[in-house]
Amino acid sequence: MTSLSAVEDRARAVSISRPPSSGEQMVDRVVRLTTQVFAWSVVVLVTFIVLKIAWTAQPAVRRYGTELIRTSTWDSNREQFGLLPAIWGTLYSSILGLAIGTFFGLSIAIVLSQDFLPRVVETVLKNLIELLAAIPSVVYGLWGIFVVIPAIRPFAGWCSDHLAWIPIFGTPLKGPGMLPASIVLAIMVLPTVSALSRDAIMSVPSKLKEAAYGLGATRWEAILGVLVPTAMTGIVGSIMLGFGRALGETMALAMLVGNANEMHVSLFAPGTTLAALLALNFPEAKGVESQALMYAALVLLSITMLVNIIGTAIVTRASKRFKGSRS
């Protein structure tokens, strides 16, 4: 028996120290190759999409140049395709929606990460908020039409009656418009912002919080002065992801924004967005119109990319600063 176990031991020792077999090396190589292929195929896919859109849009780009992003009339019969109102509406609704969404999302992230609530309630709330991301866009659109618009009508009516001298209350609410669209958009970006911000805040080392308390900080001083600034990288990242989602959101906005090719400062005025314009006009577009729509897609893509680049830059800078302070 002893000799047998000794043999086993020796065999085990051999198997631990032996060089990888050719089969294992093969597996290793295949895995590395496969992951690389998948990683590069994403790059190829994105490049292909961009090139394809740019290629299809190219006749319109050559024909109109920058005229499309400087003019504001969309009339396919007269081959005028001004994109300015759509660009304005896209940025207006996204920024407003994101501002509301960030305010609530960040508050939720703080409440759900700092032991304000019993653990069970916290988990339930967290899951409920993440569930918001699972609701289809068209349901948000319907909810906006049947709930949000009637709910804000009294407020909007009062504002446009009494405060019309303030430009953002300048026009009456006709139903669909920028404010209802932005409110629904805010709820749609809420799960992204709150879940990622919460993760960022929770990943701040507890030593930091304890140190802040040790220095005599109150709870809110610790949260606002130490935790949130330390987690800022993640929070900005979550906001940028939310912004990306808001810019590209189509169906709910097509149902709520009013699809009027107009530009207003007023919260209550109808407008349009690039994504809604594309979704509504593309199915029946032919010739120059579809090229112009591709131009619009290119503009939307550029805006989204620009936002992502700026976001990454902010995150990199912020993380550098805090890494410095931490070490």
Partner 1 sequence: MIRRHHIAVSVLALSIGAASCGSAGPEPVDLKGAGATFPAPLYGRWFKDYSDAHSNVRVDYAPVGSGTGITQFTNKTVDFGASDAAMTDDEISKVAQGVQLIPMTAGIIVLAYNVPDVTTPLHLSRSAYAGIFLGKITSWDAPEIASANPGVKLPKLNISVVHRADSSGTSFAFTQHLSEISPEWKAGPGTSKSPNWPTGIGSNHNDGVTASVKQNPGSIGFIEYGYAKSTGLPLAWLENKAGKYVEPGTPSAQAALAGAPFPENLRLFIPDPDAPGAYPIVTYTWLLAYRNYTDPKTADALKDLVRYCLGPGQTISEELGYVPLPDSVASQSLKALDNIK
Task: Convert residues 202-231 into a mask of x (bound to partner 1 by CB under 8 A) and - (unbound).
Answer: ------------------------------
Alpha-carbon distance of 315 to 173, in angstroms, equals: 38
Q: Which residues contact 158 (CB under 8 A, 6 or more apart)?
A: none
Spatial contact of 308 and 244, defined as CB atoms under 8 Å apart: yes
Residue 138 beta carbon to partner 1: minimum distance, rounded to whole angstroms: 10
Q: Which stretch binds partner 1 (CB under 8 A): 12-20, 47-55, 221-229, 251-259?
A: 251-259
Q: How many Cβ atoms are within 10 Å of 236's Cβ, its own excluded? A: 19
Q: Tell me how far apart the alpha carbons of residues 247 and 115 are, in angstroms, rounded to a whole number.
A: 34
* Residue 57 near partner 1 by CB under 8 A: no
Contact range with partner 1 by CB under 8 A, out of 50-58, 100-108, 117-125, 258-266: 258-266
CB 187, min distance to partner 1, A = 19
In three-state secondary structure terms, 100 is helix
Pick the binder of partner 1 from 40, 146, 158, 220 (CB under 8 A): 146
Q: Which is nearer to partner 1, 28 or 75 (CB)?
A: 75
Residue 174 as a binder of partner 1 (CB under 8 A): the answer is yes
- The b/e string for 184-201 (b: 16+ C-beta within 10 A; e otherwise) is bbbbbbbbbbbbbbbbbb
Torsion of Cα atoms, 79 then 82 then 83 then 86, to 10°: -100
Segment contacting partner 1 by CB under 8 A, of 73-81, 104-112, 162-170, 306-314 = 73-81
H helix runs in 112-248, sequence order: 119-131, 137-143, 149-162, 178-202, 206-214, 219-222, 228-230, 232-248
Interface pick for partner 1 out of 61, 135, 202, 280 (rule CB under 8 A): 280
Q: Does position 170 bind partner 1 by CB under 8 A?
A: no
Q: Does 296 sit near partner 1 (CB under 8 A)?
A: no
Is there binding between residue 145 and partner 1 (CB under 8 A)?
yes
Kind and range of the H or E run holding 75: strand 74-75
Closest to partner 1 by CB, 214 or 283: 283
The answer to whether residue 73 forms part of the interface with partner 1 (CB under 8 A) is yes
Q: Output DSSP code: residue 20.
A: P
Q: Give how far the C-alpha of residue 174 lies from the chain's centroid of Cα atoms, to the nearest Å.
A: 28
Chain contacts with partner 1 (rule: CB under 8 A): 73-78, 80, 145-146, 149-150, 172, 174-177, 254-255, 258-261, 270, 272, 276, 280-281, 283-286
